[in-house]
Amino acid sequence: MLAGLICKGCGQPIMGSYVTALNAIWHPEHFVCAGCKQPIRDNHLNVDAHGQPYHAACFAQYAAPRCALCGKPLLGEFLIDQWGAKYCREHQKQYPMCAYCGRLVTPQQRAQDAHHENVRCPVCRRSAIETIQEAQPIFQQVKQWVGEQGLRYGNVRITLELCDYARLTHYLRSRFEPHALGVTVSSMYSEDGQLVSSTVDTIAVLHGLPLTLFRGVVAHELGHAWLTVYGIKNLSPWAEEGFCELLAFRYYGMLAGDEARYHVGRIARNPDPIYGEGFRRVQVIAERVGFAQLLETLRTTKHLPG
């Protein structure tokens, strides 16, 4: 017996040969694979997240994480998306991303949703708002929340339209916004070159958006509608879009769940000089003067606080 050597597997003294592995001493027959329960007799082993040893083949079969897209064991380097899904590195170049959440979409998944204009993953498709009947009560809920933030529309009736991408593009007219998901359609009336009044004709939102994103787009467009109702028309693009993105950001922030947190981060990290940088600049102003004062200054002076 070798003095002081205790097998980690059975807790008994070791007499004769032994195995040194995983910072411990084992009887050869007690250092076994956690998958097949047979002794590991060579140096080719894998260890899982819990410190359990496996034969290389058993690790692939029983313990290795699986690719969320193809199901193969992930044995080398792999990628993890913002949702925590693990997948093979090569899929990043093989498959397109969902237009709404960034998840990769396989050809089979895309074929199941071939009628939709944008690439859409199964998760986003499950909560998609496809009809005006589905959209109306959600629109009213968001409008009520916006009103509670201090954005009032008086007697102006704000309506919602769900539309396809061709219709949305028509509403955008000359504005080049390839990633636009909604637009506030308004009419302006002037006399002798002076703006007399402006009205909101409708808020148009692309059909098929996932529920959480749909809510945020509505909140953003209700910001544009409020600016129109109060004749606030001379803001720079970054200021107008930044204000509306701040409204969506605040709305996402009071929702629970991974989808809302994703969109909060998306707005906060957006590198776009108008939407992203505009949001961050308006957010700084709102934090300095308070959101209520931001609204009051916009309403009375037609400009952001200085």
Give per-residue pLDDT as tens, 139-155: 999 999 999 999 999 88
Whether CATH 3.40.50.620 fits 19-63:
no
DSSP 114: T
Mean pLDDT taken over the chain:
91
- Three-state secondary structure call for residue 149: coil
How does residue 1 score in pLDDT terms, banded at 50, 70 and 90? very low
Residue 240, CA atoms < 13 Å, CB-side half-sphere: 16
pLDDT tens string 116-174: 888 999 999 999 999 999 999 999 999 999 999 999 998 889 999 999 988 998 888 75
Single out the residue of 154, 297, 161 nearest to residue 229, CA to CA.
154
> Residue 122 and residue 77: Cα distance in Å, rounded?
26
Count, in order, helices (H) and strands (E) of the chain. Answer: 11, 11
**Contacts (Cβ under 8 Å, ≥6 apart) of 179:** none
> Residue 269: pLDDT above 90?
yes
Rounded Cα distance, 142 and 151, in Å: 12
Instruction: Encode pLDDT of 71-89 as tens digits.
Output: 999 988 899 998 999 999 9
pLDDT band at 2 (very low <50, low <70, confident <90, very high): low
Tens digits of per-residue pLDDT, 185-197? 988 766 666 655 6
Question: Where is average pLDDT lowest: 1-10, 192-201, 242-251, 276-285?
Answer: 192-201
- Measured between alpha carbons, how far is 105 from 95 in angstroms, rounded to an integer? 6
Sorted by where each begins, the domain ranges of the chain are: 19-63, 78-126, 128-301
Write out pLDDT tens, residues 217-268.
Answer: 999 999 999 999 999 989 999 999 999 999 999 999 999 899 999 999 999 9
